[in-house]
A and B are shown apart, each in its own frame.
Chain A
Amino acid sequence: MALDFAKGITEFRWHGRGGQGVVTSNQMLGKAALAEGNYIQAFPEFGPERTGAPVRAFLRISKDPIQIYAQVYNPDVVVCIDPTLLEVVNPVEGLKEEGTLVLNTTLSPDDVRKKYDFKTGRVVAVDATSIALDILGRPFYNMPTMAAAVHAVGTVKIDTAIEAVLERYPGKIGELNKAAMEKAVKEAQVG
């Protein structure tokens, strides 16, 4: 049994590509957690940002001040916002047995489990690409994928997450993202 250096901390690892807003949605969720009175750390995998290159971001949420400063190796939650990355990265690497895997995918949770041989924990599958194209007219699928994660994990309320997004994007863009997030919560399949 590996030692747990992050007791009481919910740890997220995000996968996306440079330019898709993985760092932003990670920060939005972090700020929502902060608004609910938590301590947070939200940081990208450090490096020069290159559009299209695989990017990771990390989030820690805790009721108490967070002391650990290192990348997240055994996340409670993995969120992958880009379906094409699933052929490149292994999203379940290091994921805790009882952890939650959140994917932007057209696959069902059962198919995801088979694909990654992930038999424990939970799988959340949401077709965030279709939702984004439908509502935003462009493939901005970071916020709807984040919404599915928020809904499934429950560390932060979905309303707080939506508020954080509205604060960052006031006006029409914010409202469209809100609609996309609400739809993602409804359509996300948990299995």
Chain B
Amino acid sequence: MTVAKDKISIEGLTGDAAIAHALKQCDLDVLAAYPITPQTIIVEDFQKFAADGEVQTAVIPVESEHSAMSACVGASATGARVATASASAGLALMWEILYCAASMRMPIVFTVANRALSAPINIHNDHSDGMGMRDSGFVQLYCQSSQEAYDTTIMAFKIAEDHDILLPVMVGIDGFILSHNVERVEMLPTDVVTDFLGIREPVQPLHPDKPITMGPLALTDYYFEFKEQQDRAIQEVPKIYKKVEKEFEKLTGRSYGMIEEYKTDDAEIIILAMSTMGGTAKAVADVLREKGEKVGVIRLKMFRPFPVEEICKAIGDAKAVMIFEKAMSFGAVTHPLAMEIRSALYEAENRPMVLDFVVGLGGRDVPPTTFVEGYEKTKKYLEKGEAPLYETLGVRK
């Protein structure tokens, strides 16, 4: 049953604060983190909750992000519920341990305020950090709003800790654009979150009375089997994600899907984007629809595992898919998101034209007019019957 309205508290929260409030309600055992802009508010707020005795969490102020993720792996191995937060260079410094967390099957929730990578130093948003950890084995969920960041952080634990999954989950929000944007957030009563999540039931925890070894050496004999199992586990995520979201929807009336489809049914041209750009794209589609243009939007929430079937179904027989993405894979055929879409569509009966627009690197604003510019180009490319593999928009050339 949906939680009664008078039990819901409504507050104005930034994306970071929304995540911190969610973490506060998730009965964390350990949070190990190192502050980095624009994730800082998450850790600051949580430290305050800990200092004020509002949570019973052991907060470990580590000396680096490499140590933050290491501490999380260690704590998670004992069966604890664990979270951390980072961005950009901090995330890059964790890189080695990201792979350990996933391969050792530690259900850590990793909240990220997505930010550009150096050099030059830039504190603003793009998705280079998230794409950099693409192959680490983390589940990746990208959120549009503060509400979604709150909801997703809570759901992430239930997905990660499910015994069919046991994988770490990244919850991404756009640095500054959402992390520092005050929005309306409906928060559940803590006891409802507690009941929803339950207590983590570790399969095989570290315990002094029952010593075991985790993540040791596996050479040509068994390494490959670890990877085989890891691959099987991440393929289970859609099933569990849907189950968890259904349960969450019963409580809140809110669900997001692995992808959000917006006016795609009869769309001839579909805009595909993640995070806050997915929101702007919907506003753009509304305006273009009023002018008679058949435009739809797919907002991709789950990047890993990649929801191939859902994407192909949503694209249907559209003539073109225009991808707006905030990362570059230098020297690749196209950039990360478009590569996925192209691969996904390879087996499709009606393969649409795929346009890859790289935008917004280093926090360059992506206003609705940039989408319209891409749309006009796409129409021209459709007429011509050919298009470049990718192009950049909103940059001095």
**A→B interface (CB under 8 Å):** 3-7, 27, 30-31, 34, 38-44, 46-48, 65-71, 73
CB distance from A8 to the nearest CB of B (A): 10
Q: Are A70 and B280 in contact (CB under 8 A)?
A: yes
Q: Can you name the residue of chain A whose Cβ is closest to the Cβ of B174?
A: A69
* Cα-based distance from A20 to B10 in the complex (angstroms): 28
Does B279 touch A at the CB level, under 8 Å? yes
Q: Is the CB of B280 within 8 A of A27?
A: no
- Min CB–CB distance B199 → chain A (angstroms): 34
What are the residues of chain B within 8 A of A4 when measuring CB–CB? 287
- B368 at interface by CB-CB < 8 Å: yes
Binds A, one of B28-36, B67-75, B157-165, B179-187: B179-187
Q: How far is the CA of A11 from the CA of B174 in the complex (A)?
A: 21
Contact yes or no, B12 A68, CB < 8 A: no
Q: Is the CB of B123 within 8 A of A43?
A: no
Min CB gap B215→A, angstroms? 39
The answer to whether A27 and B182 touch (CB under 8 A), given A34-B12, A46-B176, is: yes
29 contacts between A and B (CB under 8 A): A3-B369, A5-B284, A5-B287, A6-B283, A7-B286, A27-B12, A30-B182, A31-B182, A34-B10, A34-B11, A40-B12, A40-B183, A40-B184, A41-B183, A42-B181, A42-B182, A43-B176, A43-B180, A43-B181, A46-B177, A46-B180, A46-B363, A47-B123, A65-B145, A67-B279, A68-B280, A69-B181, A69-B276, A70-B366
At the interface, yes or no: B178 with Cβ under 8 Å from chain A? yes
The list of the 3 closest CB pairs from A to B, nearest first, reads: A69-B276, A46-B176, A43-B181
Residues on B with C-beta less than 8 A from A42 are 12, 181-182
Determine the distance from Cα of A46 to Cα of B180 in the docked complex, in whole angstroms. Answer: 8
State the Cβ distance, B10 to closest chain A Cβ, in Å: 7
Dominant secondary structure of chain B at its interface with chain A: mixed
Contact residues in A for B284 (Cβ distance below 8 Å): 5
Which residue of chain A has the shortest Cβ distance to B145 in the bound complex?
A65
Residues of B within 8 A of A30 (CB): 12, 182
Contacts of A43 on B, CB cut-off 8 Å?
Answer: 176-177, 180-182
Name the distance in Å between A41's Cβ and chain B's nearest Cβ: 5
B349-392 vs A, Cβ < 8 Å mask (1 yes, 0 no): 00000000000000101111100100000000000000000000
Partner of A40, one of B182, B276, B282: B182
Give complex CA distance A66, B147 in Å. 12
- Closest Cβ of chain B: how far from A11's Cβ, in Å? 12
| Given A27-B182, A42-B182, 6 further pairs, Cβ under 8 A | A3-B372, A4-B287, A5-B280, A40-B184, A66-B279, A71-B365
- B104 interface contact, C-beta 8 A: no
B301 interface residue per 8 A CB criterion: no
Interfacial chain B residues near A39, Cβ < 8 Å:
183-184
Q: Is B277 an interface residue (CB 8 A)?
A: yes
A34 to B12, CA, bound (A): 7
Residues in A neighbouring B177, C-beta threshold 8 A = 43, 46, 69
Q: What are the residues of chain B within 8 A of A6 when measuring CB–CB?
A: 283
- Determine the residue in chain B with the shortest Cβ distance to A59: B182
CA A4 to CA B182, docked complex, whole Å: 23
* Closest-CB distance, A144 to chain B (whole angstroms): 22
Q: Is B124 located at the chain interface by the 8 A CB criterion?
A: yes
Residues from chain B with a CB closer than 8 A to the CB of A73 are 367
The chain B residue sitting closest to A6, CB to CB, is B283
For the complex, what is the distance from the CA of A68 to the CA of B281, rounded to whole Å?
Answer: 8
